Amino acid sequence: MEARLATPVPGRDRVNRGTTDTRHRLIEAALVEFAAHGYDGASTRAIAASAGTHQPQINYHFGSKHELWRQCLERLLTELDDTIAAHVQGISRPDEPAVLAGIVRALVTFASRRPELNRIMMHEGTAPSDRLAWLVDTHLAWRQRDLARRWNRLRDAGVAAPVPVNVVHHLLIGAASLLYANAPEARLLGLEPDASTTVTGHANGLVSMLLPGL
């Protein structure tokens, strides 16, 4: 593993910043490390250093690395739901096609602003584990079923592209998020995943591909 960070709170000793503040900084630092290097590749020392504190704080505040990871995902999925809700509420005439278009735009927007969720999902999805089983049972299954129901109705109505229901979830998530999940790679290729023109062009193109009858 490449060297990354080693600054363990320079100078100040035993600063009490309150429990919620340290917890939030640890979660924010952890979700970035988990996203960049995967669960096994992320070290609790690097996370603590990035949060400006020391490694044993993780076990004090969360009990274990696993529980810290779990709370990172709760945070990220809450933010995703907030983003989707905001996009869907801003629709003038909310019929079914417009709502799905709003969800697609929300997925692209969120992936660009918070690439960490899709990065972690892509790391976890490559092998069975307790973490993956928890993710699927508590957060992924109902989302996949909800999209499948919407897709079936839109296919029947003739507005959706001829994509089978059993592949549409991963096709949509992959098409919407890989550019941002793999942003370090995209930047080396000369692309600009962070540019607002990139994101809006991406969202518009994906919506018109998925819903040609809109």
- Residue 82 has, within 13 A of its CA and on its CB side, a CA count of 8
Within residues 60-89, the interface with DNA by CB under 7 A covers: 60-61, 63-66
Three-class secondary structure of residue 190 per DSSP: coil
The reply on whether position 186 binds a second copy by CB under 8 A is: yes
The reply on whether position 149 binds DNA by CB under 7 A is: no
**In the complex, minimum distance from the CB of residue 19 to DNA, in angstroms, rounded to a whole number:** 4
The reply on whether position 28 binds a second copy by CB under 8 A is: no
Do 118 and 110 meet the contact criterion of CB atoms below 8 Å apart? no
Contacts of 133 (CB under 8 A, 6+ apart): none
Contacts of 127 (CB under 8 A, 6+ apart): none
**In the complex, minimum distance from the CB of residue 126 to DNA, in angstroms, rounded to a whole number:** 17
Among 121, 150, 151, 154, binds a second copy (CB under 8 A): 121
Residue whose CB is less far from DNA, 6 or 188: 6
The reply on whether position 182 binds DNA by CB under 7 A is: no
Among 6, 14, 93, 188, binds a second copy (CB under 8 A): 188
Do 214 and 101 meet the contact criterion of CB atoms below 8 Å apart? yes
In whole angstroms, give the CA distance from residue 28 to residue 30. 5
Residue whose CB is less far from a second copy, 2 or 156: 2
**In the complex, minimum distance from the CB of residue 155 to a second copy, in angstroms, rounded to a whole number:** 11
CA angle 114, 120, 124 (to 5 degrees): 160
CA angle 49, 55, 61 (to 5 degrees): 110
The reply on whether position 164 binds a second copy by CB under 8 A is: yes
Among 2, 7, 13, 196, binds DNA (CB under 7 A): 13
Burial class (CB in 10 A: 0-12, 13-18, 19+), 68: buried
Site of interaction with a second copy (CB under 8 A): 1-2, 35-41, 119, 121-130, 132-133, 135-136, 140-141, 144, 161-164, 166-167, 169-179, 181-186, 188-189, 191-192, 198, 201-202, 204-206, 208-210, 212
